Chains A and B, each alone.
Chain A
Amino acid sequence: MLKKHLLIFCASLFVLSNVTAQDDLLSELDDDSVDTSYELPAFKAMKIGNLQSTKMADKGDFYLIVSHRFGALKEGFDTFLGLDEANTKIQLLYSFWEGVQFSLSRESYNRTFAASAKVRLARQSSKMPFNIVGYTTINRNTLIDETIFPALESNDRNSYATQLLVSRRFSENFSFQIAPTYVRENLQNLNVLPEANHNQFAMGFGGRYKISKRMSLNAEYVYNMSRPDGSPFDNSYAFGLDIETGGHVFQLLFTNAQSTNEPGFINNAEGDILFGFNIVRVF
């Protein structure tokens, strides 16, 4: 009798353990697998608006970026809401190695040629909470005329910016970035500035919120900590919409800075709101 009971008991045990084992096969895998892959990029384009983002070109990717910043909206119909006063920038960008990106550009504002480099230091994953990218650029103003300013030295035309970009994609839709920045301007216009201040420090803040798979709202603000009292320039801001279509990203934005280069918009934002866009095309 006892024997029979025992047999039934262990038979049911056997069946039971088999059933649970079957169900557990998948959860067994679930338990000891960790996603070690990198988080998707925090931003769609290399810029949030004016401010550089942690997004970089992948190795071998070639980008053409065309940016326009128009005149102040308040000029109204005289300049057709600023459209007559476009600052045009054409930028070529390439990545020779994974995590390193170079670019060359020319913008109409001060006829500025610029070269820049971006290097990825860390990438967000389950082990790393942030994307960390270093960015540096050199700008050369080719507008200043030596016949008008005979004392001008070649070096005076240059300005520089170095930034540390730290971002995190907090959720599928929300990303935020901070950007401690150092800007060096060799030449400053003392007719408009109360005092020379060649070295300036700033802190940039930017974020994006995805409103659909291919669109996001972006906003940024750069606080310049070294701006002297009485400076005619303002801290820059930008806000706008990103539209990604696969090979293109269209960034439509409003900002208070005409220049799209870091020394330009971080130190010399004019303050009046204007319309602009960046078109990012990958080849």
Chain B
Amino acid sequence: MKKSLLLVFLFLTTATFAQKYYTKTGLTEFKASVEAFEPVEAKNNSTSAVLKVETGDIAALLFMKAFNFRVALMQEHFNENYMDSNKFPKATFKGKIEGFNLSEISDSKEYTLKGILTVRGVKKEVTTLAKFTKQGDKLRLQASFGVKPEDFEIKIPKIVSKKIAGTINISLDYEFIEKK
């Protein structure tokens, strides 16, 4: 009887105090540049992400309008004409790091990251390799993958289609710290 009470207590604590790592200043970058044309690329350094250690579940969220372009007018057109950022302010990712085991990351280790990326309300499955690096209390995730504008029903007028890459490279660099 006492044993089972202990078990209940144990289960409850693990459920409520599941170990999580998080960041609010994750860097998400995209590059859609075509050589010989003006670079089309932007950085978002306020991506929030959370990682559940036990299960390897991961989620990330960013605001489209927080993407910083070098040319401000390009940023305006990105939000207004391509991403409909007022209608779809967020992009989210929800997925899993397969076989994730925090204790086996001594220096750095690669895992398969699989999940659903939602941009402009359109879902797309993404699979890529994610590199985890342990730096003191910090856990760093780096990954990159490619998507196409048509994956998210982004219409690009013919007149500019030559200046925007067919495959857009997205790279992530998130430095997680333990959530207490």
Contact = CB atoms under 8 A, between A and B. Distances in A.
Interface of A: 2-3, 6-7, 9-11, 13-14, 17-18, 21-22, 25-26, 28-30, 32-33, 35-38, 40-41, 58-59, 61, 171-172, 213-214, 244-246, 282
Given A22-B57, A33-B48, A35-B65, A7 B86 contact: no
A28 to B, nearest CB: 6
Nearest to A58: B72
B76 A25 contact: no
A13 B85 contact: no
A61 B72 contact: yes
Given A17-B16, A18-B15, A37 B63 contact: yes
Interface stretch (B3-11, B129-137, B140-148, B168-176): B3-11
B73 interface: yes
B81 A213 contact: yes
Contact of A35 (B63, B73, B76): B63
A58 B73 contact: yes
B164 to A, nearest CB: 12
Given A11-B11, A282-B73, 11 more contacts: A6-B7, A9-B8, A14-B11, A17-B15, A18-B15, A21-B18, A25-B94, A33-B48, A37-B65, A40-B85, A246-B77
**What are the nearest 10 A-B pairs in CB distance?**
A58-B72, A17-B15, A37-B65, A25-B59, A172-B86, A26-B59, A35-B63, A29-B61, A10-B8, A14-B11
A214 B89 CA distance: 19
Given A22-B55, A29-B60, A35-B66, A3 B15 contact: no
Contacts of A32: 48
Size range of the chain B interface in the assembly: 35 or more
A28 B50 contact: yes
13 contacts: A3-B3, A3-B4, A14-B11, A14-B15, A22-B52, A25-B57, A26-B94, A29-B92, A36-B46, A40-B80, A40-B85, A58-B71, A58-B72
B4 A6 contact: yes
Contacts of B66: 35-37
Contacts of B48: 29, 32-33
A3 B63 contact: no
Interface of B: 1, 3-5, 7-8, 11-12, 14-16, 18, 24, 46, 48-50, 52, 55, 57-61, 63, 65-66, 71-73, 76-77, 79-81, 84-87, 89-90, 92, 94, 159-160
Contacts of A25: 50, 52, 57-59, 94
A172 B65 CA distance: 14
A30 to B, nearest CB: 6
B90 to A, nearest CB: 8
Contact of B160 (A26, A28, A38, A246): A246
B89 A3 contact: no
Given A14-B15, A18-B15, A35-B63, A29 B50 contact: yes
A40 B52 contact: no
Contacts of A28: 50, 59
A114 to B, nearest CB: 24
B28 to A, nearest CB: 13
Contacts of A58: 71-73
B26 to A, nearest CB: 11
Nearest to A61: B73
A282 B73 CA distance: 9
A94 to B, nearest CB: 14
Given A25-B50, A25-B57, A26-B61, A172 B87 contact: yes
A265 B24 CA distance: 50
A6 B85 CA distance: 50
A245 B12 CA distance: 59
A18 B55 contact: yes
A48 B101 CA distance: 58
B109 to A, nearest CB: 22
